Structure 1
């Protein structure tokens, strides 16, 4: 599994209805995309208390080939044409779980990122992250949860889809406008080694 996200931060007065219409008309284009585990079309709005207006799609790829096909194909080119080329963040998967609400349509998402501190072995930090991931994935309202790591910057990522509003949590909160999940069933459950 590969996790990927890009963030398009928009002006404070930006009409977020433009993004909502974009997702409503184009979101289904990836509903059958090869190799895509899931794509959550996420937004944050200043009107809802966020510090920024932002469109920030989040992807879990079942296969690197699908991710590459998207990045070098017409899908990502549409983003580049409309907003410029964003920085694409990428993490390698550590674990994925379906939650108790896995049959629900997610309404919100949370994302938290933290640094793996120190210069020594990251094993202990990763094991604690996996333990926290398992606990989180079992919480009421969780649709799906993933934990991943960027070993270049030693950053851990926890991403969770919620059936409704998430409980108060650290990290960033997003509204989910649509989910494309053609190969969600191919995302292996549990730890990835």
Structure 2
């Protein structure tokens, strides 16, 4: 499996309704995509949920490189290139994926990022993967790590915005979630 995300940084005065409309009109095009476990169409709005900037930041989990390669090189990703230009695509490996039956009701994603520190064993990192303590219904979670940079992102999916999230990480609004075949 492969985790993939690009974060398109947008001007502070960018009309985010353009992103909402884009996803409303085109989000279903990745429904049923080959080898796609899920694609969450994410965005942040400046000054909403304590975000400092506007962004469009789709997040994917691929079952294999075949579907990811088809998405990137068979013309689908060209829509991003035409609309937003060349983007750095972040790639990682899922350490775990835990989605509930209500996962597709998710409206918000909480991202917590960090660095895997140099140690004599990595067993301690994998054993530290405990559920997030929250009073809100957690509909899914995953941890994506990149051993090239020794960084990780823990992603938590919610139907409602969890309180005190700014103390933990960044909130993204989920506009649509696609599921592949």
Same-fold call, TM cutoff 0.5:
yes
Runs (5+) with no aligned partner, structure 1: 184-193
Correspondence for 2:154 = 158
| Distance of aligned partners of 1:50 and 1:120 in 2 relative to their CA distance in 1, 3 Å threshold | same
- The runs of at least 4 aligned residues of structure 1 exceeding 6 Å deviation read none
Runs (5+) with no aligned partner, structure 2: none
Say if 2:23 is the partner of 1:23.
Answer: yes
Q: Is the 8 A contact 2:109 2:158 kept in 1?
A: yes
Match of 1:124, SS state, is helix
1:92-132 deviation per Cα after TM superposition (whole angstroms, max 9, x unaligned): 11111123x6255111001111101125332212221x2x2
TM-score, structure 1 length as denominator? 0.85
How far apart, in 2, do the equivalents of 1:103 and 1:55 lie?
21
TM-score, structure 2 length as denominator? 0.90
Correspondence for 1:90 = 91
Q: Is the 8 A contact 1:12 1:52 kept in 2?
A: yes
Correspondence for 1:190 = none
CA RMSD, 1 decimal: 1.9
Q: Provide the aligned length of Structure 1 versus Structure 2.
A: 178
Say if 2:112 is the partner of 1:112.
Answer: yes
How far apart, in 2, do the equivalents of 1:47 and 1:94 lie?
32
